[in-house]
Amino acid sequence: MRRLIACLLAPAFIVFPALAAEKITTFTLDNGLEAVVLEDHRAPVVVHMLWYKAGAADEAPGVSGVAHFLEHLLFKATEEMEAGEFSAVVEANGGSDNAFTSYDYTAYHQRIAADRLELMMKMEADRMRNIQLTEEDIVTERKVILEERAQRTDSDPGALFSEQRNAAQYLNHPYGIPVIGWRHEMEQLSREDALAFYEKYYAPNAAVLIVAGDVDPDEVKALAETYYGPLEPTVDLPERERPAEPPQLAERRIIFEDPQVAQPYVIRSYTAPERDAGDQETAAALTILAELLGGSGRTSVLGRALQVDSNKAVYTSAFYSGVNYDDTTFGMFMVPAPGLSLQEAEDEMDAVVAQFMQDGIDGAHLERVKSQIRASLIYAQDDVASLGREYGAALTSGLTVQDVQDWPAILDAVTEDDIMNAARMVLGREKAVTGWFRKPLEQEVSQ
Amino acid sequence: MIRVVLTTCFALIALPAAAIDIKEVTSPGGIKAWLVEEHSIPFTALEIRFKGGASLDREDKRGAAHLMSGLLDEGAGELDSTEFASAAEALALKYGFDASSDSFSVSAQFLTENRDASVDLLRKAINEPRFDQPAVDRVRGQVLSIIASEEEDPNDIASKTFAALAYGDHPYATKLEGTAESVTALTREDLIQSHQDLLTRDRVFVGAVGDITAEELGVILDELLGNLPETGPDLPGPAPFLLDGGETIVPYDTPQSVAIFGHEGIERDDPDFFAAYVMNQVLGSGGFGSRLMDEVREKRGLTYGVYSYLVLREHVNLVMGQVSSSNDSVAEAISVIRGEWAKMADEGVTAEELERAKTYLTGAYPLRFDGNARIANILAAMQFDDLPIGYIDSRNDQVEAVTQDDIKSVAKRLLKPENLHFVVVGQPTGLDASN
């Protein structure tokens, strides 16, 4: 089908980095820049990515959105280049470029013919330390990010609901603040705010270089030394310690109503541990738990019980993403069939999970999930750019290259007991935010 | 993100500078496919595309092709829905079925070690879907939910309104998902009919890339497609285009207006097609060098993104575009876009813009060929668009041959600011609806 309801939320797909060891090379420059090179010589293409260990969760209080704002501003002028010239040069060389900001990282990337790698490095190194911002850049680009917020958040009740749920999930940790920023703070972002973030975090000792494609690792290293090597590190770069969450003492519930809600649903997200360096076992168990509970509408625990065996749900899913610097969430949601209220839907979802906790795991189901894990090691070789993104996200979220390489084997070793223990640890309503998303009640005639 | 990557319905094919070795394969049963052998990773990507798609929905059965596409794997042969899904998981078979306005596609990736069993499972879905009533009702529920969501989505409202105003009685005039009413009325028999109408041997195009030989592929083609009906109903004729210049406002309570706009376009096989293609690269490709992005976003901050594109569909060709802007600034954005349309029609492009567009288009060309599934997709699309197997060698030359004069003349012929119709969804200020 053209589009399933899956676009409500990012699904719990498991991505498994894997590449024969001889095709991965790592090195670290004297100024602290870490680098990973992934080889694939099938096509004369390279993806060059620079990841900063700085994202929205590293912002100072009161300037929400500045990490993302700065990402936009990095396409303006530097000492060497005019505003807009970076992308123009990439395009003139047949490449494409983009950037993205998350809670734990900001990344810039180009996809281009492999023989243009040097030019990309030269330009990326230039804008790591040398941007030149005018007041006019600030005013115009601030309008652009406000339009971006209007397009992607303010015009979309589902996105606003998600923002509210996040805020409820984290009372004290900055994961509760939207990456794009709160509108009232975005409107006030200044050149000084952007430069303060830039000068602190845009430095080789806070960056990870990923090069994936038709390249020779020795040449990549030589180029990196030439262009990134001379850059000065930030000497007093602080440890990344964000304000921690207090213990959650009460269940949190949110009802979000908007006349433009077409499809009501109930969603629950539990605070859960993330993948930690050298300690990924619990996260592995949770990754597989999400797959078993809600990975497929037809074979998962929620899907079978609520979509196939009964027609109580239009759609169900479970999700977990372990690549996070600090605590993450494990969640599940249900889109009820017409006629079922959100309270009834929530009760049904709870009942299915309670039954699962009693019955335990279907061994054949677990075996199928593991065969998909093993197969993904093969499929992943077809797309080293995705693999590069995995490394970039992991290395900026507190993990090491070794952790990334160990991950498939750790997943494969997960037992039924591991999964049930992880489930018992995480799935408590007192540690969760439960959200209802619906039209204002008087309009909800069909319910 | 600094910008959204636009996915358009534009089907121009780019091909690699480094020649890839495409073989034409004919199965023992007479089915043709294009194949690139790539044995370094033990899996194969297969792309099967049938011309027709949702444009073959029968009268009053809008949404049949779309619903049918969601049901092929919901029970097939002796397997019920869950058994089928479990079997695919165990084999790590990746697949998808998709009905679009002009085609129906089957995309699959399977491991070499599981090839036979994977192909057998795909064969069942393609040839023996069960359309069990519980599965039909369950998937119908999902489709109704999608339709309800689209009715509240400003982008969907805009494209639906544009299509309804533009295409008269043609199937293009309505969304291929159908309406709540039409989908609710679909029966199991309608889906069986749609399956028979759409999956036919005379309209099939196949691309395969991966760890497979021509001989092995031939056997698979016969197994998957050999027993399908030889032919299906006629395709619909050309779509009319009934919109004149102006604006249509669809009031909707949202802080930002969404506008889509367009007028008639150019045929894929028109001698000036490449000139138009290069011209659009300069006008509104979405890169920061493009004029619309430069004028509307970079200079004025009126939007996060603005694009124009050539729409090449089976039965209509348009030049279209889209922009989102706050309610109080969308009128200015539209005025700037009209101005750029007129400027391009009058003056064409500068020598520097032309050069930059050419280096981008020719340089970007090999980059699309990285990954078995991507290449399989392109091979199927090339055949679908009736391009020769040797198109590879001439494509960049055709881009390079475009001159400033060519663009000036095609821009004058193609771009008609006075014909440009904007459908605006939101609460725009300072716009008078002319329609």
| In chain B, residues 123-142 whose CB comes closer than 8 Å to chain A | 134, 137-139, 141-142
Give the minimum alpha-carbon distance from B189 to chain A in angstroms, rounded to a whole number.
19
What pLDDT was estimated at residue A43?
Answer: 85
The mean pLDDT of A233-251, rounded to a whole number, is: 93
Q: Name the 3-class secondary structure at A442.
A: helix
Q: Which residues of chain A make contact with B304, given a CB cutoff of 8 A? A: 144-145, 147-148, 151-152
What pLDDT was estimated at residue A20?
Answer: 58
| In chain B, residues 142-171 whose CB comes closer than 8 Å to chain A | 142-143, 145-146, 148-154
pLDDT at B406 over 90: yes
Alpha carbon distances (Å) from A376 to A69, A379, A423, B82: 36, 5, 24, 22
Cβ–Cβ contacts within 10 Å for residue A184, how many?
8
Interface test with A, best of B44, B152, B159, B300 (most A CBs within 10 A): B152
Alpha carbon distances (Å) from A134 to A77, A141, A194: 9, 11, 12
Cβ–Cβ contacts within 10 Å for residue B97, how many?
21
Q: Does the annotation mark A39 as catalytic? A: no
Q: Report yes or no on whether pTM surpasses 0.95.
A: no
N-terminal to C-terminal alpha carbon distance within chain A: 27
AA letter at A62: G
Interface test with A, best of B145, B302, B395 (most A CBs within 10 A): B145
Residue B304 contacts A where some CB pair is shorter than 8 Å: yes
Place of tokens 């304000």: A243
What pLDDT was estimated at residue B15?
Answer: 37
Could you give the CA distance from residue A316 to residue A296 in angstroms, rounded to a whole number?
9
Let me know how long chain B is: 435
Average pLDDT for chain B:
93
Q: Which residues of chain A make contact with B258, given a CB cutoff of 8 A? A: 155
Could you give the CA distance from residue A158 to residue A262 in angstroms, rounded to a whole number?
10
Residues near A184 by beta carbon (within 8 Å), at least 6 away in sequence: none
User: What domains are there in chain B, each with its CATH number?
Assistant: 23-225 (3.30.830.10), 246-426 (3.30.830.10)
Give the chain A residue nearest B104 (alpha carbons).
Answer: A1
Q: How large is the ipTM?
A: 0.89
Which stretch of DSSP H or E encloses residue B248?
A: strand B246-251
- Binned at pLDDT 50, 70 and 90, residue A12 comes out as very low
| In chain B, residues 192-211 whose CB comes closer than 8 Å to chain A | none
pLDDT in tens, B203-231: 999 999 999 999 999 999 999 999 999 99
Q: Which two tokens stand for residue A263?
A: 């499809």
- Set A39, A71, A141, A348: catalytic member: A71
Alpha carbon distances (Å) from A8 to A159, B149, B283, B295, B344: 9, 10, 34, 33, 40
What pLDDT was estimated at residue B368?
Answer: 81
What is the C-alpha radius of gyration for chain A, rounded to an integer number of angstroms? 23
Residues near B160 by beta carbon (within 8 Å), at least 6 away in sequence: B150, B174, B175
Q: Which residues of chain A make contact with B350, given a CB cutoff of 8 A? A: none
Alpha carbon distances (Å) from B407 to A247, A333, B27, B404: 66, 52, 44, 5
Could you give the CA distance from residue B357 to residue B283 in angstroms, rounded to a whole number?
10
What pLDDT was estimated at residue B289?
Answer: 75
pLDDT in tens, B102-157: 999 999 999 999 999 999 999 999 999 999 999 999 999 999 999 999 999 999 99
AA letter at A23: K
What pLDDT was estimated at residue A21?
Answer: 55
pLDDT in tens, A284-318: 999 999 999 999 999 999 999 999 999 999 999 99
DSSP code per residue over A109-128: EEEEEGGGHHHHHHHHHHHH
Residues near A101 by beta carbon (within 8 Å), at least 6 away in sequence: A55, A56, A67, A68, A71, A107, A179, B1
Place of tokens 């195009």: B205
pLDDT in tens, A204-232: 999 999 999 999 999 999 999 999 999 99
What pLDDT was estimated at residue B363?
Answer: 87
What pLDDT was estimated at residue A341?
Answer: 96
What pLDDT was estimated at residue B3?
Answer: 62
- Binned at pLDDT 50, 70 and 90, residue B433 comes out as low
Give the minimum alpha-carbon distance from B269 to chain A in angstroms, rounded to a whole number.
25
- Binned at pLDDT 50, 70 and 90, residue A19 comes out as low
The mean pLDDT of A2-26, rounded to a whole number, is: 50
The mean pLDDT of A423-435, rounded to a whole number, is: 95
Residue B360 contacts A where some CB pair is shorter than 8 Å: yes
pLDDT at A377 over 90: no
Nearest to A394 by CA among A267, A278, A310, A265: A278
pLDDT at B12 over 60: no
Q: Which residues of chain B make contact with A339, given a CB cutoff of 8 A? A: none
Give the minimum alpha-carbon distance from A248 to chain B in angstroms, rounded to a whole number.
33
Could you give the CA distance from residue B121 to residue B75 in angstroms, rounded to a whole number?
11
B54 and B176 in contact (C-beta within 8 Å)? yes
pLDDT in tens, B250-302: 999 999 999 999 999 999 999 999 999 999 999 998 776 799 999 999 999 99
Residue B377 contacts A where some CB pair is shorter than 8 Å: no
What pLDDT was estimated at residue A118?
Answer: 97
Could you give the CA distance from residue B426 to residue B252 in angstroms, rounded to a whole number?
4
Whether B85 and A298 lie within 8 Å, measured CB to CB? yes
Whether A371 and B90 lie within 8 Å, measured CB to CB? yes
User: What domains are there in chain A, each with its CATH number?
Assistant: 32-227 (3.30.830.10), 252-443 (3.30.830.10)
pLDDT in tens, A68-109: 999 999 999 999 999 989 998 998 888 999 999 999 999 999
Percent of chain A with pLDDT over 90: 86
Percent of chain A with pLDDT over 70: 94
- Binned at pLDDT 50, 70 and 90, residue A132 comes out as very high
What pLDDT was estimated at residue A13?
Answer: 36
What pLDDT was estimated at residue B435?
Answer: 43
